Structure 1
Amino acid sequence: MIKRYTELADAVEHLLLEKNSEFICYLQPVTSREAALQWLAQYRQQYSDANHVCWAYIIGNTRQPQTQAFSDDGEPSGTAGKPMLHVLTERELGNCLAVVVRYFGGVKLGAGGLVRAYSNAVSQAAGNAELRMISPSVQLSISVSFAFEARLRQLLQQYQAALDDVAYRDNVSMQVSVPQDAEPALREQLINETAGAAVIRQVASHSGV
């Protein structure tokens, strides 16, 4: 089960200067690998004269990512992309692409210095970032008797479920979106209170703000 998680709400830009080298960090909201790579291509084109364009992204929950990747783009292995990804994870920046453009200032930083510089560039940018909470939900189709309609509406409020659609035929049929972590309890209570008469089907699951 995917728990609630935070994601980057808006783009962020931040400049870090380290021993004459410029580290320009961009944090960009993305919801797919394809979107991340499209943004990356734009940054590469925009900064075609830069020494390095390093990046990392996480799609979905930072603790249970759908996909994630990173690149050192010519920097010594392990000194750029992986530290950037680590910051995204620790700061819980889900659905986020981090790009750090480096212009070499003439002074070598060494492996440790590079790790710190790339980490700090992303961390400082993250300090200016706005996050929003994503609450995965499940869409259910619930059919009950007319006599139980008022009680069902009460339960939907109790479990913070949204009523998407309702139809009246031989009974009351509702399409609802319920928070994923509340769905088992709502389902159990409906079955108990209707003595198993409620018909409950899962239609879909999705993430929402």
Structure 2
Amino acid sequence: MSKDYPIPAGYLERETEVKKSRFIARVYPVRARDEVRALVEQAHQDYPDARHVCWGYQIGRPGSAAEAAMNDDGEPSGTAGKPILGVIQHKDMGDVLVIVIRYFGGIKLGAGGLVRAYAGAAESVLSAVDRVVQQVRAMAHVGCGFADEQPLRHWCEGHEGRIEDIQYSSRVTATVSLPETHQEEFAAFCDAHKMDYRFDT
């Protein structure tokens, strides 16, 4: 069974209207909580006069997400963030943030109406966004001499690897993320260059 999973291909925005209230839904691919915070803050800046900026996200594989959270931003508890997250979970999509910005139109929707409106807004944007497959990634911790830093960077460039962190002291220590499918190849590369390495389990 493949561990790869679909994620949003990029940013998309859709607007719906329910009883004169505007619901502006945004979807983003996200990999970390810091990204979520920054994008929610951006939504507040883009729509400073909006009544509510509600959101839900999950990071990791659908069905066994590493992290998920939601926020009602002043709407009655459970009427905004929860339905947004519920739609995300039904879409079988990982690494996804949905923000729904609401402009109140003067007509109260009631709790049931809010749940339907926020779920509908999330549905509209998640149904429209393209998907790409996210490969499950492994994290490796590498120690090497300064001369080996460039070959390490070169290997990463050619194998969808990313250097997430690098520290310099008497030698170079790097944290590398790479597709799980390349783990054996990476181990062989490290062995050939006499680098220390270990994978997160």
TM-score by length of 1: 0.66
Matches within 5 A, 1:54-203: 54-136=54-136, 179=181, 203=198
Moved over 6 A (4+): none
Question: Following TM superposition, by how much is the alpha carbon of 1:96 offset from its aligned partner in structure 2, in angstroms?
Answer: 1.2
**Structure 1 pair 205/9, CA: closer, same or farther in 2 (3 Å)?**
farther
> Which residue in the other structure is 1:152 paired with?
none
For 2:54 and 2:2, the matched residues in 1 are separated by 29
Listed one character per residue, the Cα deviations across residues 97-137 of structure 1 (whole Å, up to 9, x for unaligned) are: 11100001111111111000000101011111111112325
Give secondary structure in 1 for the equivalent of 2:100: strand
**Structure 1 pair 77/138, CA: closer, same or farther in 2 (3 Å)?**
closer
> Which residue in the other structure is 2:24 paired with?
24
Consecutive unaligned residues in structure 1, runs of 5 or more: 141-161, 165-175, 184-201
Question: Following TM superposition, by how much is the alpha carbon of 1:177 offset from its aligned partner in structure 2, in angstroms?
Answer: 6.4
Letter in 2 for 1:23: F
> Which residue in the other structure is 1:204 paired with?
199
Consecutive unaligned residues in structure 2, runs of 5 or more: 141-158, 162-177, 185-196
For 2:35 and 2:48, the matched residues in 1 are separated by 20
RMSD: 2.8
For 2:179 and 2:104, the matched residues in 1 are separated by 51
**Structure 1 pair 4/17, CA: closer, same or farther in 2 (3 Å)?**
same
Question: Following TM superposition, by how much is the alpha carbon of 1:92 offset from its aligned partner in structure 2, in angstroms?
Answer: 2.0
For 2:114 and 2:139, the matched residues in 1 are separated by 47
Across the two proteins, how many residue pairs are aligned to each other? 154
Question: Following TM superposition, by how much is the alpha carbon of 1:139 offset from its aligned partner in structure 2, in angstroms?
Answer: 8.5
**Structure 1 pair 106/35, CA: closer, same or farther in 2 (3 Å)?**
same
- Equivalent residues of 1:9, 1:131 under 8 A apart: yes
Letter in 1 for 2:92: E
Q: Which structure's CA Rg is the greater one?
A: 1
For 1:97 and 1:52, the matched residues in 2 are separated by 16
Identity %: 39
Give secondary structure in 2 for the equivalent of 1:65: coil
**Structure 1 pair 53/178, CA: closer, same or farther in 2 (3 Å)?**
closer
For 2:132 and 2:15, the matched residues in 1 are separated by 24
**Structure 1 pair 51/33, CA: closer, same or farther in 2 (3 Å)?**
same
For 1:99 and 1:91, the matched residues in 2 are separated by 16
For 1:98 and 1:55, the matched residues in 2 are separated by 6
TM-score by length of 2: 0.68
Question: Following TM superposition, by how much is the alpha carbon of 1:57 offset from its aligned partner in structure 2, in angstroms?
Answer: 1.1
Question: Following TM superposition, by how much is the alpha carbon of 1:11 offset from its aligned partner in structure 2, in angstroms?
Answer: 0.5
For 2:6 and 2:60, the matched residues in 1 are separated by 9
